[in-house]
Amino acid sequence: MSTINSAGRVVVGVDGSSQSAVATEWAARRALQLGTGLTLVLAMPPLQVPSRGSMMQMLRQSATDFTGKVLAAAQQRLDDAAAEVRAQHPELDVEQALLEDSEPALALVHATRDAALVVSGTRGLGAVKAMALGSVTRHLISHAHGPVAVVPETGTAKDSRASGTVAVGVDDVNHSADTLRAAIEEASLTGGKLLVVHSWEYNPINVEGMPPMDPELFGQVKDNHSAELDAFVRETLKGDPNFQVEVRVTLGDAGEALVGVSHEAELLVVGSRGGSALGGVLLGSTAAHVARNAICPVLVIPRRR
């Protein structure tokens, strides 16, 4: 049994899968970029064992033996992952923690309280259930106290436009300030381009005779939102940045718009919650959709509680 040394460090959940290896390598490079250490975590949920009768006693003994084998295999996966990171990045401070009888989601959420960043893959390794987006990663990005990065199986986008580009999904100034500031910090590191995206969705009541969105109205909405976002971005930048800035307003589903943008970004920054009546970026479900389908790593910034 171990505890996690997460304070000020990059923490990554591992499980021995190829997806986990991609996320771990990304986390290692990120730790170097931030000038901090890396902690690898493998959490093992408790094994449920019957507790009554002679047959149950036999099963408990078998389960104890089996549990020992499972923990030994988990420790080997963790050791192998740490050894690979140390071989690739000998200058990096690497620690590892095997958590017995610990729910992976809860362990990683707890780490977000003081970690510089917690990193997860989009999918995991079957029975270990360490990093499946539908359970652990979804729970993580919904309940995190600090930033979480979700790394896809591809690792990074392949589009030539992606290099140095940081994209960010914003809703309105009341709910997106922290997300935009985080994206600005990332763009400052890359020195490339900041792409600010807002998607406006028109959802008329489903009653016969309700008018569809007409081009003239959308043009007015787009102009108004673009002007508002331009002012919001300039105010948040507080000076001339060392990167290009583009503001893009589109009509349609926010999640789909951001997944499309992920093809032209090195990193996509989103908020875990939103509150706009316009139904834009980002609700928890939208963030989960983006994290599951984006082609580039997604940095999820929790909304202040």
**Per-residue model confidence (pLDDT) at position 225:** 80
Residue 271 near residue 178 (C-beta atoms within 8 A): yes
Region of residue 115 (phi > 0: left; psi between -120 and 50: alpha; otherwise: beta): beta
* Per-residue pLDDT, 131: 39
Which of 226, 41, 239, 65 lies closest to 128, judged by CA? 41
Backbone angles phi, psi at 41, to 5 degrees: -125, 130
Residue 202: the pLDDT is 66
Distance CA(199)–CA(257), nearest Å, equals 7
> Tens place of pLDDT for every residue, the chain, 305 residues?
457 899 999 999 998 888 889 999 999 999 999 999 999 999 988 766 555 555 555 555 555 677 788 889 999 999 999 999 999 999 999 999 999 888 888 999 999 999 999 999 886 544 344 334 547 888 888 889 999 999 998 777 667 778 899 999 998 666 788 999 999 999 998 899 999 999 877 665 555 665 666 677 778 878 888 888 888 898 999 888 889 999 998 888 889 999 999 999 999 999 986 444 333 445 457 888 899 899 999 999 997 65
As a residue count, the chain comes to 305
The phi and psi torsions of 149 (rounded to 5 degrees) equal -110, 130
**Radius of gyration of the chain measured on its C-alpha atoms:** 22
Q: Return all residues near 301 (Cβ < 8 A) that are at least 6 apart.
A: 147, 178, 179, 182, 269, 270, 271, 272
Query: Can you tell me which residue has the tokens 């100034």?
Result: 173
- CA-CA distance, 106 to 261, in Å (whole number)? 31
Q: Is 207 left (phi over 0), alpha (psi -120 to 50) or beta?
A: beta
Query: What's the pLDDT score for residue 264?
Result: 92
pTM of the model: 0.84
Q: Cis peptide leading into 268, omega within 30 of 0? A: no
